[in-house]
Structure 1
Amino acid sequence: MSRPHQLLELLGENSEINIVCHNNPDPDCLASALALGRISAAADIDEHHIYYSGDISHQQNRTFVNLLDIDLKPFEVTMVTDLQPGSLLAFVDHSVPGRNNQVPPDTPVDIVIDHHPAEDINARFVDHRIEVGAAATILTEYVRVLDIDIDAELATALLFAIRSDTLDFLRGATSAEYDAAGYLHDHADQDMVRQISSPSVTGGTIDAISTAINNRWTSGSVLISHVGRTTERDSLPQAVDYLVRLEGVETAIVFGLVDDSIHICARSPDPRVHAGDILHEAFKDVGSGGGHHDSAGGEITLGIFADYTSNDEQLLSMVEQVITARLVAELNLPGEMEGSKSV
């Protein structure tokens, strides 16, 4: 029995599914959750719910949710601790309780569909393919194999998710992404795809990107910068995606203060550098970090930094020194870094 049909069989044995997105969900996670909900409905599941934690702050993500009218509910821990018989817990685009989600560690999970590198995945049904470029690619395969009715909204969501997670097929795309996109193209609303692709940008995002440009430091083909303190968490991936295009740069890492955490984003087209491993090794004793060889992220709770000083300028200076020093050591960079200015 194929994996799509195994999933359908599991779904058919239950009456409810609770799909949990990772923190601050992106289009790949949201579209995958939407598709799993449609598959569940086809399996005659009476109720399906999509939960999220954090913020949907990226301009594209907000536009994505609004135009596609995705029904999202804020995540609460009691949702998973009080599950009744016949209720399933599912993860899409992430895989382990307590890692990039608010689900308590060791919580039993029924379904995992993911493409990110991870270990210790434990669920009744697992489809974990790190070789594909997007979780939406896997869910598109399921929709096709199971002959699920696909309307313009679902096709648009899956198509945009694949494009977004692969940077329009420039990052981590495989033949599976092209095949899925070819199938989805004829069903998708192309005007809606264009609207989602070109949302307005907030002033806070522009300010954060500008700060990252001004604070950039380089050593050889490596660039490290920060956006200072920002309320626009998603300005970090936008800043690093912009800076990695700088001539001579093969690896770019941008960090910043968001609420009570340090967020880090990395991009590395350089095949000699594994961005996920770099962030994991540099910060595994103080926070979390990881991802693919060319795209990765991390988060560190301010903790002792915030306890040491209430002065935001001093706090940022301390964070910059510590984060930069760890990255320089992990990347084994020689000598002093060169840059436009210091903070």
Structure 2
Amino acid sequence: MIDDQTVDYQRLYDLLAGSDSVVVVCHDNPDPDSLSSALALSVVAEQLGVGTVTIAYGGAISHQQNRAMVNALDIGLTPITECTLADFALVAFVDHSIPGRNNSVDEEMTPDIVIDHHPSEEVNGQYVDHRPNVGATATILTRYLQAYELELDERLATALLFGIHRETLSFTRETTAAEHAAASYLHSLADHSLIESLSNSVFTCETLSGIGDAIANREVRGSCLVSSLGRIHERDILPQAADYLLKLEGVSTTVVFGIVDDNIQLSARTNNSQLHIGELLKNTFDEDGSAGGHHDMAGGQIPLGLLGPVDEDDEVATDLLNQSVKKRLFSALDSWAES
């Protein structure tokens, strides 16, 4: 079971029950773990009598599975650009913890509530439940539903179970006993046919083309692969391409990056147990933007302005930028291998 002996469930209960409004903020481009966790916390807030509950997100919902999940489970979302956080009595972060890092929140603000499983330093808030030893934030929110003995319907059970499935790659990545315990609790109520349907959501044409570009543009050195997609519109192509390329024989680490709007977005994967890819990305790029993540999966973004302006039609400048990012990545990977 999840290790929650030091968690003060009553404190969050009292905080929510005494509030008239809360905005639950997902990380940018929210995935199923973030979406299901936000839905769960919003349900907890509603059942505790909070009058106004809003789920906000930054970025876009471009991954075909994420769009299908939002539509099938009727998850009400509001772009963060249409919210004024100061209008809410409480601001809650789920599946992320640091303002301005992988979220569209001013880095000077401090959230009231943080519930997250990603490795991070100096997490602040009135109420913080930070468990990097757990495989999914949806697992933690499932425990809150159990602790409060609140009603759990098919919609929420399906969302949470799908969130755990996706975050752990069907219980094959960073899975702990807590995920199995949560899945056992959710299993009887969840709609398994819908979970199967969501898991088999079809690729968009751009996603398929992006994965093809990642294959064509790959550069491999030893067991490490780096690929650039140039300018793309769907950020979620990157993690899908990084996952796909990790299947290449002889490759144990992949990093795929592309230009999305005014940022370079990166997604990395590794099955090398000796490499902490989140720490490697953080050490390489965090001073320029924000980067980091887990032992075997990570991401980051760098504002284009820090590396020089790149006109959308300037192929030479884009190529130079691609070579610069690749050089930094391979240099970092080489340094790690030599250490």
What is the TM-score normalised by the length of structure 2?
0.94
1:17 pairs with 2:19: no
Aligned length: 332
Deviation at 1:2, TM superposition (A): 5.0
Is the 2:232–2:259 contact (alpha carbons within 8 Å) kept by the matching residues of 1? yes
Deviation at 1:310, TM superposition (A): 5.5
CA distance in 2, matches of 1:220, 1:58: 31
CA distance in 2, matches of 1:153, 1:17: 21
Task: Describe the superposition over 1:236-274 as per-residue Cα deviations: whole angstroms up to 9, x where unpaired.
Answer: 100000001111111111111122211111001111111
Q: Which piece of structure 1 moves more, 323-332 or 279-288?
A: 279-288
What does residue range 75-154 of structure 1 map to in structure 2 within 5 Å? 75-76=80-81, 79-83=84-88, 87-154=89-156
Q: 2:211 aligns with which of 209, 216, 229?
A: 209
Task: Describe the superposition over 1:283-335 as per-residue Cα deviations: whole angstroms up to 9, x where unpaired.
Answer: 1232211001100001111115553655432132112211111011111269x
What does residue range 217-228 of structure 1 map to in structure 2 within 5 Å? 217-228=219-230
1:42 pairs with 2:47: yes
Task: Describe the superposition over 1:31-57 as per-residue Cα deviations: whole angstroms up to 9, x where unpaired.
Answer: 001100111122111121111111000
SS of 2:157 mapped into structure 1:
helix
Aligned residue for 2:3? none
Unaligned runs of 5+ in 1: 335-343
Instruction: Kindly provide the amino acid, as one letter, of the partner of residue 53 in structure 1.
Output: G
What does residue range 65-80 of structure 1 map to in structure 2 within 5 Å? 65-76=70-81, 79-80=84-85
Judging changes above 3 Å, is the alpha-carbon distance between structure 1 residues 123 and 333 closer, same or farther for their aligned structure 2 residues?
closer
Instruction: Kindly provide the amino acid, as one letter, of the partner of residue 122 in structure 1.
Output: N
Aligned residue for 1:233? 235
SS of 1:76 mapped into structure 2:
helix
Q: 2:250 aligns with which of 248, 251, 255?
A: 248
Aligned residue for 1:294? 296
Is the 2:214–2:256 contact (alpha carbons within 8 Å) kept by the matching residues of 1? yes
Deviation at 1:100, TM superposition (A): 1.2
Is the 1:32–1:158 contact (alpha carbons within 8 Å) kept by the matching residues of 2? yes
Is the 2:27–2:34 contact (alpha carbons within 8 Å) kept by the matching residues of 1? yes
Q: 1:326 aligns with which of 325, 328, 338?
A: 328
CA distance in 2, matches of 1:182, 1:78: 36
SS of 1:91 mapped into structure 2:
strand
CA distance in 2, matches of 1:42, 1:77: 25
Is the 2:242–2:268 contact (alpha carbons within 8 Å) kept by the matching residues of 1? yes
Q: Which portions of structure 1, spanning 4 or more consecutive aligned residues, are displaced by more than 4 angstroms?
A: none
CA distance in 1, matches of 2:306, 2:37: 37
CA distance in 2, matches of 1:178, 1:171: 12
SS of 2:122 mapped into structure 1:
coil
Is the 1:77–1:102 contact (alpha carbons within 8 Å) kept by the matching residues of 2? no
Aligned residue for 1:341? none
SS of 1:332 mapped into structure 2:
helix
Deviation at 1:82, TM superposition (A): 3.9
1:64 pairs with 2:94: no
**Aligned-residue CA RMSD in angstroms?**
1.8
CA distance in 1, matches of 2:74, 2:117: 25
